[in-house]
Amino acid sequence: MSELIELTAAQAAERIHHGDVSAAELFEAYRTRAAADGDDLNAFTWVADGPAAEAPSGAPLAGVPLAVKDLFCTEGVPSQSGSKILEGYEPPYTATVVAKLAQAGTTLLGKTNQDEFAMGSSNENSAFGPVRNPWDRTRVPGGSSGGSAAAVAAGLAPWALGTDTGGSIRQPAALCGIVGLKPTYGAISRYGMIAFASSLDQAGPFTRDVTDAALLLRHMVGQDACDSTSLAFPGEIELPKGVDLRGIKLGVPEELTGEGIESGVREAFNRTLALAEQLGASVETCTLPHAPHALNAYYLIAPAEASANLARFDGVRYGLRVDADDLLGMYTQTREAGFGAEVKRRIMLGTYALSSGYYDAYYGRAQQVRTKVADDFRAAFERFDLLVTPTAPSVAFRLGEKVDDPLAMYLSDVFTIGANLAGIPGLTVPVGLAGTSPRLPRAVQLLGPMDAEPLLLRAGRAIEVRGDTARLARDHETEFAWPGR
Ligand code: GLN
């Protein structure tokens, strides 16, 4: 394997700045790998077919290639959100965050496969076929940003963009053994992201280590006139330096660390708590009394917003159209042919929850629960700097294992969904491999109050460098093993 591929994105940018490596050479090394798609992971839906446009001269990210989840609009490049209804759709404009990153020097390597309209936890809901987990190709990479996670984990891209509505960055990062960050709601513009649930959707980075996550995030944040929910991030995102947790109060929410956690995941979690104490953190149990209701509230609010957002796909303006005798027939047959089963399920759930007569009982009640969930986090952050939980209850599960049981699938996100309801940031840090053959990644999730990304990144880096993670996340202090290398 080319030595270039071994570099983290931060290291690659530095080499290019020093003139040791050319951006074109780096791009070609990744492009070749992505086009060959690491033994059929199906991680990409589109790969650049030639050299990238040159990065602006002196740009900090120096031409380092970036893989972008399919649902970010990219001008003149397929942007299909994993859906047949948008097959071949090439938008006339580029999402703000992708444009900002290009300005900062990233080059567009490819678009990554995802669950249709970001609905899913396993990447089996894509109209373009499932993505496979590079650690074990019979298993899922997690979802909905599974293509981005698999691409980074398999060394097909140095880093990637994903989105997280209920866990879709943090959970696939955990199942693929890489770093994933869901930022504070509003920190990053949603303009040009094909919407799933607008009050929950947030873009964020997938990277091999925490330093790269900080570097990418630095160039993603900022207020955007095109997204009225975006906010200026207070201060600059520094690259985390320290490798201790001195003075940090960590809370362990009892509702999110109780039953239903696989033993290997629990063991890694407990080991991480012990490590955190060794590194100087105080670790205490805390409570989020309404957390057990978060999943229920999410599965009313997210489908309700989705049913409204997806109303625009009517065969008139974008993508697929099925001709029929009359206008209504054209609408219904286009939607029947273009949407997959999970998307239809969500539209029905959401439409029902919003219908008159049920609105107060379902949607209204779910919004009340959402407020309670957010209040719980606010109260916890009066006593604790950060909270820590496993990211997902299990390691990567088998393809097909949960497709016929939507409720079991929805449970994959029990630990991540609360952060989306509350708008707070969350970071997945890998903490080692479980089992013997195959060895599968395990991870923890750190949660912080709004705009606490710098603290999350600092703590994440300490755990990564000092813990077992160092074997997984690419860190020069220890050996790193890519799956299937
Ligand atoms: N798995 C959750 C869902 O299916 C979350 C998806 C996401 O974060 N985009 O809705």
pLDDT digits (tens, 9 = 90+) for 380-396: 999 999 999 999 999 99
pLDDT category at 483 given cuts 50, 70, 90 is very low
Question: pTM, whole model, 2 decimals?
Answer: 0.96
Q: Distance (Å, rounded) from C-alpha 186 to C-alpha 188?
A: 5
Q: Distance (Å, rounded) from C-alpha 212 to C-alpha 347?
A: 37
Phi and psi at residue 40, to the nearest 5°? 60, 45
Residue 318 predicted with pLDDT over 50: yes
The answer, yes or no, to whether any atom of ligand 1 lies below 6 A from the CB of 342, is: no
How do beta strands 179-182 and 202-207 pair?
Answer: antiparallel
| Closest ligand 1 atom, residue 118 Cα | 9
pLDDT category at 439 given cuts 50, 70, 90 is confident
The answer, yes or no, to whether any atom of ligand 1 lies below 6 A from the CB of 166, is: yes
Q: Coil, strand, or helix at residue 415? A: coil
Rounded mean pLDDT of 275-295? 97
Residue 6 predicted with pLDDT over 60: yes
For 79-111, write each residue's pLDDT tens digit. Answer: 999 999 999 999 999 999 999 999 999 999 999
Residue 330 predicted with pLDDT over 70: yes
| Closest ligand 1 atom, residue 120 Cα | 4
Smallest CA separation from ligand 1 atom 5, residue: 166
Q: Measured in angstroms, how far is the CA atom of residue 38 from the centroid of ligand 1?
A: 26
Contacts of 329 (CB under 8 A, 6+ apart): none
Ligand 1 pocket mutation, candidates 69, 81, 168, criterion most atoms within 8 A of CB: 168
Rounded mean pLDDT of 14-19? 97
Residue 474 predicted with pLDDT over 50: no
For 120-164, write each residue's pLDDT tens digit. Answer: 999 999 999 999 999 999 999 999 999 999 999 999 999 999 999
Q: Distance (Å, rounded) from C-alpha 232 to C-alpha 29?
A: 36
| Closest ligand 1 atom, residue 420 Cα | 8
Residue 340 predicted with pLDDT over 70: yes
Q: Measured in angstroms, how far is the CA atom of residue 7 from the centroid of ligand 1?
A: 31
State residue 481's pLDDT score: 46
The answer, yes or no, to whether any atom of ligand 1 lies below 6 A from the CB of 302, is: yes
Mean pLDDT of the chain: 93
For 51-89, write each residue's pLDDT tens digit. Answer: 998 999 999 999 999 999 999 999 999 999 999 999 999
State residue 161's pLDDT score: 98
The answer, yes or no, to whether any atom of ligand 1 lies below 6 A from the CB of 119, is: yes
Residue 289 predicted with pLDDT over 60: yes
Residue 484 predicted with pLDDT over 60: no
The answer, yes or no, to whether any atom of ligand 1 lies below 6 A from the CB of 201, is: no
State residue 204's pLDDT score: 98
| Closest ligand 1 atom, residue 143 Cα | 1
The answer, yes or no, to whether any atom of ligand 1 lies below 6 A from the CB of 295, is: no
pLDDT category at 112 given cuts 50, 70, 90 is very high
> Where in the sequence numbering do the catalytic residues fall?
69, 144, 168
State residue 465's pLDDT score: 87
Contacts of 36 (CB under 8 A, 6+ apart): none
Q: Measured in angstroms, how far is the CA atom of residue 115 from the centroid of ligand 1?
A: 9
For 230-243, write each residue's pLDDT tens digit. Answer: 999 999 999 999 88
pLDDT category at 183 given cuts 50, 70, 90 is very high
For 396-430, write each residue's pLDDT tens digit. Answer: 999 999 999 988 899 899 999 999 999 999 999 99
Classify residue 188 by its DSSP letter: S
Smallest CA separation from ligand 1 atom 10, residue: 119
Question: Tokens standing for 412?
Answer: 């994959």
Residue 119 predicted with pLDDT over 80: yes
Q: Measured in angstroms, how far is the CA atom of residue 298 from the centroid of ligand 1?
A: 9
Looking at the chain, the number of H-run helices and the number of E-run strands are 15, 11
Rounded mean pLDDT of 338-345? 98
The answer, yes or no, to whether any atom of ligand 1 lies below 6 A from the CB of 4, is: no
| Closest ligand 1 atom, residue 412 Cα | 1
Burial category of 403 from C-beta neighbours within 10 Å (exposed 0-12, middle 13-18, buried 19 and up) = middle
